[in-house]
Amino acid sequence: MSPAVTPIQTEIHAQMQDTGRRARAAARIMATAETRSKNQALQEIAHRLLSGQEALLIANARDLKAGAENSLAAALIDRLELNRARIQAMADGMHEVAALADPVGAITDLSFRPSGIQVGRMRVPLGVVGIIYESRPNVTADAAALCLKSGNASILRGGSEALHSNLAIAACMRAGLQAAKLPEHAVQIIETADRAAVGALLSMPEYVDVIVPRGGKGLIERVSREARMPVIKHLDGICHVYVDDRADLDQAVAIAFNAKTQRYGTCNTMECLLVAADVARPVLDRLVPMYLGKGVEIRGCEKSRAMFAAIKPATEQDYHTEYLAPILSLRIVSGLDEAIDHIEHYGSRHTDSIVTGDLIRARRFLREVDSSSVMVNASTRFADGFEYGLGAEVGISTDKFHARGPVGLEGLTSQKWIVLGDGHIRQP
């Protein structure tokens, strides 16, 4: 809490403490809940999302109306909107998570030690997961489902503009949990729109084991700064494709085009194309018109501008920028070393890909590029939980600690050591 504490902040703090206590109690039960019960809860929730969709649409209409009155940007309104297709997708998501293998309780590496004890590890939930996100109500359902299946309790804080939608979704969750005889507080939504609630949430390490912020950079920076517990976070996605001079040029063109244009606003979209000097002419002869034809603005180095008048000059700042827009940075490099150095200096350790037919260079790129996803001959757009087989993701981590890259069920768990003996004692 800030130095000047108002009565309302004190009240919110007390409410959040209650929320935390309930979550901790629910987490203890969820940690040992049977897979069958957790799956049943997910199916019951899916059923209620569909059977209760009129209520969801009415709640959502309230949010949309308020959004329009508050002149919310069109893109935000779009994210906020629920419709029958989106509700169906949320329900499908529940069934998909139910179909995933339960990571909790899995025992690995159990083996005998010279002392005679048997030592192994058992996968366990993290405990209470706090998720702070903006706009999209479907995040409520997706994130809660992953936490539920991985045996965690969750505390969700969505954008205030989606509050009614989120509360309606939460009601389905609560009913689904109760139908499966699991604690209803295993999923809780923060019901106040007051920003002080976020501050209170971030100050309760005794009740919240990890925080996952999902949203704009401002949110993530605030959470990283204030959180007194670990944060699974995703900062920039400044992703690169490096076209090596031993690339198959058809593959190179297809990957570089797909990585930039398949979707502009996602974190795994390529923001900077690096091309080896020896193949710059044939590669760019094909790619530049394709990008321009698609409406992509290209900002390139001097060498590239000498080849194509349509390329605008790139500033130093451009190479540090995640555009999330139809703009592309371009640099012609001498070869692999310069490409790796560029990625090391300007990249955000999210996702980087090399296009090459050369095995030695592919092996070097895989080893030396220190990003959460490193690819060979594939589009950066593949970097997500569904494509990786995690079923869904609670977020993509650009940190190295704990979870890296897409965070699914396993990223929401930890491992404890287990030791089995027959009366073993330690000798001096």
β-strand partners of 27: none
**Residue from the set 115, 178, 315, 334 that interacts with a second copy by CB under 8 A:** 115
**Minimal CA–CA distance to 276: which of 238, 314, 249, 306?**
249
**Residue from the set 157, 371, 391, 407 that interacts with a second copy by CB under 8 A:** 371
Distances (CA, A) of 131 to 85, 95, 189, 412: 24, 21, 10, 12
Closest distance to a second copy from the beta carbon of 312 (Å): 26
Largest CA distance in the chain: 79
| Residue range at the interface with a second copy (CB under 8 A); choices 37-45, 174-182, 325-333, 396-404 | 396-404
Is 212 an interacting residue with respect to a second copy (CB under 8 A)?
A: no
| Residue range at the interface with a second copy (CB under 8 A); choices 122-130, 182-190, 215-223, 326-334 | 122-130
Structure tokens at 96: 């998909």
**Residue from the set 52, 199, 230, 335 that interacts with a second copy by CB under 8 A:** 230
| Residue range at the interface with a second copy (CB under 8 A); choices 35-43, 68-76, 318-326, 401-409 | 401-409
Is 35 an interacting residue with respect to a second copy (CB under 8 A)?
A: no
Closest distance to a second copy from the beta carbon of 376 (Å): 5
Dihedral over Cα of 388, 390, 396, 399: its sign: negative
The beta strand positions in 52-193, using DSSP E, are: 107-112, 118-125, 128-133, 153-157, 187-189
**Residues from 53 through 112 that contact a second copy (CB under 8 A):** 105, 111
Please work out the total of residues on this chain that contact a second copy, with binding judged by CB under 8 A.
Answer: 68
409 DSSP assignment:
T
DSSP alpha helix (H) spans, 262-314: 277-293, 302-307
Binding mask 170-209 for a second copy (x = CB under 8 A): ---------------------------------------x
| Residue range at the interface with a second copy (CB under 8 A); choices 53-61, 171-179, 215-223, 373-381 | 373-381
Closest distance to a second copy from the beta carbon of 242 (Å): 14
**Minimal CA–CA distance to 326: which of 378, 256, 380, 271?**
271
| Residue range at the interface with a second copy (CB under 8 A); choices 39-47, 186-194, 244-252, 273-281 | 244-252
Closest distance to a second copy from the beta carbon of 146 (Å): 17
Is 372 an interacting residue with respect to a second copy (CB under 8 A)?
A: yes
Structure tokens at 345: 């200096």
**Minimal CA–CA distance to 167: which of 33, 60, 262, 48?**
60
β-strand partners of 211: 130, 231
What is the Cα–Cα distance from 165 to 187, expressed in whole angstroms? 15
Tally Cβ neighbours within 10 Å of residue 368: 14
Is 254 an interacting residue with respect to a second copy (CB under 8 A)?
A: yes
**Residue 427: CB partners within 8 Å, gap ≥ 6?**
115
* Residue corresponding to tokens 């606003």: 265
The answer to whether 212 touches 375, Cβ cutoff 8 Å, is no
Binding mask 323-362 for a second copy (x = CB under 8 A): ---------------------x--------x-x-------
Contacting positions for a second copy (CB under 8 A): 28, 31-32, 105, 111, 113, 115, 117, 119, 122, 124, 126-127, 209-210, 230, 248, 250-251, 254-255, 257-259, 262, 344, 353, 355, 366-368, 370-379, 381-383, 387-389, 399-402, 404-406, 414-426, 428
